[in-house]
Chains A and B, each alone.
Chain A
Amino acid sequence: GAVVSQHPSRVICKSGTSVKIECRSLDFQATTMFWYRQFPKQSLMLMATSNEGSKATYEQGVEKDKFLINHASLTLSTLTVTSAHPEDSSFYICSAESLGGAGTQYFGPGTRLLVL
């Protein structure tokens, strides 16, 4: 149980294009989903927290107009990197916390984004 999927697993795009990443909880309903960014050999950096049906809460320094988050259902959240630039290249990982899950987060496999 507690499986989280992400799609795509990797994406290469040209500078200036937008990229959408999907995060799905496959066998449970997620009240809260989290989006992280991870640079090589570093820990996870929380970008934003999203609750189903409400606006995401962004961490300090994360541009909400650049990283659009939509959490339209209890099993799906999307992250759109708008007008991507090479410095946005990174490993993006989502996690989901189940209803009544008391804080336990289950992570997706991650999406490797490379912006040329």
Chain B
Amino acid sequence: GENVEQHPSTLSVQEGDSAVIKCTYSDSASNYFPWYKQELGKGPQLIIDIRSNVGEKKDQRIAVTLNKTAKHFSLHITETQPEDSAVYFCAASRDSNYQLIWGAGTKLIIKP
């Protein structure tokens, strides 16, 4: 079945540096790719998403890139801050009425 692979499982970066998390999906019909941030004991929070008609999207320190040919997409966080520490999940779906296929998550640790 469809799956999404996410790497790395844990990422530790110095405060102020950039962090990159990568995901690869298997379903070529996927056209919607959200990223969620989950803090301990809380529900996931949508931080950015991208659809297959664009290759990159930015929102302040966060950006997502999509390569449909290679079937992978990445989350980029610049100028990392302690509050960026959390677990980040990527997901893929075929759009409305289809379930999200989730990555396994990346624990991001920002070292002060």
Contacts and interface: CB of A to CB of B under 8 A. Distances in A.
Interface of A: 4, 6, 32, 34, 42-44, 46, 49, 93, 95, 97, 101-110, 112
Contacts of A42: 104-105
A93 B98 contact: no
A109 B89 CA distance: 16
A43 B89 contact: yes
| B: contact size bracket | 20 to 34
Interface string B77-112: 000000000000100011111111011110000000
Contacts of A34: 99
Contacts of A32: 97
B46 A105 contact: yes
Shortest beta-carbon contacts, A-B, top 9: A107-B43, A103-B95, A110-B43, A103-B32, A103-B96, A109-B43, A43-B102, A107-B44, A93-B43
A10 B96 CA distance: 30
Interface of B: 32, 34, 36, 41-46, 49, 51, 89, 93-100, 102-105
Contacts of B94: 103
Nearest to B6: A43
A101 B32 CA distance: 12
Contacts of A97: 96
A112 B95 contact: no
Given A107-B45, A109-B43, A110-B41, A101 B103 contact: no
